[in-house]
Structure formats: C-alpha cells, structure tokens
Structure 1
Amino acid sequence: MTALDWPTMVGFAGMGCIVWAYWYITGHERPNPFVQHGVNLAGAALLTISLLYHLNLASLVLEGFWASIAIWGLWKAFRKRKLA
C-alpha cells in the first residue's frame, strides 16, 4: 500500500482539479474557458509534482499532453477575448 505522503496528497489534489474541470464543462451550457483550462492546467501541474516523486513515466507523459492542451486552450481564450 502506498503511503499518503505529501506527493501523493498533491497528486490527489491534482486529480480532483481535473475531475472537477471535466464535471464543470459537462455540467454547464456555456463553460468559462479560463476556468476550465486553468483548473485543468493546475491539475496537470499538481499531478506532475506528484509524479516527479513517484515516477510513472506513462502518466508523466500524459500530464505533459494535458498541460499542453490546457495552455493551448487558455491561449485561444485570451486571443478570442482580445479580438472581442
């Protein structure tokens, strides 16, 4: 059994962010992209911290993609906001 050390707790917080962001986009007619992508990016960052201590290479690569997609989404939202 894995100990509930601080990296594991940080990972749980990141997992909570990503699950909440998925609930948010699914449960709202017009979700705010800054909330959606910002929370996803925070979740990916927290999970990355956890994975640096408890390495799982496949999950670490997945979080890299997750963070990249969130950054792309934020960039698009900022660009769209500037044009409006």
Structure 2
Amino acid sequence: MILAAFAAQQMGKMRGDGAVYQLLNLFGAGGILVSLMGSFNISVFVLESAWVLVSAYGLWRSRSLRARADAAGK
C-alpha cells in the first residue's frame, strides 16, 4: 500500500496531501506492524509506528484545512 501510494503520487495520479494517499500509508504501515507479531523487529516497529503517526497527522491536517476552507466560504 505504501509503495502503491508513493508510485501513484510520483506518476501524478494521486496528490500527496489527499486523504486516499494518507490512508494508504496509514493502513500499509499498520499492516506491517501487525506482521511484526510473528517476528518482532524493533527498528521496523519504530519506523512503521512513526509512519502511522505521520499519516494520521496528515489526515487530521487535511481535514482541518478543509473545514477551515468550508467555514471561510460560508
């Protein structure tokens, strides 16, 4: 999911600040975290946890900016 989102963004098919891009990153990193239950790796855990947090922040930021734009337009 992470690679697909990145490739789509690089090809101009997806915006890097859009919800779909952020969700693909969030769920991709979350899936990797779940896979660590079988064989734990601290460095992958730290990296993917950070990826989840950054993606969640991106979703929150996009939503906040959209809400502000909607409020300003009314």
TM-score normalised by length of structure 2: 0.83
Is residue 28 from structure 1 mapped to residue 25 from structure 2 by the alignment?
A: no
Gaps of 5+ in 1: 1-16
Equivalences for 1:40-79 in 2 at 5 Å?
40-79=25-64
- Residues 1:30 and 1:63: Cα distance change in structure 2 (over 3 Å): closer
Tell me if the contact between 2:14 and 2:21 (Cα under 8 Å) persists in the aligned partners.
no
TM-score normalised by length of structure 1: 0.74
Residue 30 (structure 1) shift: 6.0
Q: Deviations over 1:6-49 (max 9, x none)?
A: xxxxxxxxxxx010011122111761610111100000110000
Range with bigger deviation, 49-58 or 30-39: 30-39
Identity %: 28
Runs of 4+ in 1 over 3 A off after TM superposition: none
Partner residue in 2 for 1:7: none
CA distance in 2, matches of 1:44, 1:70: 9
Corresponding residue pairs, total: 68
RMSD: 1.5
Tell me if the contact between 2:29 and 2:49 (Cα under 8 Å) persists in the aligned partners.
yes
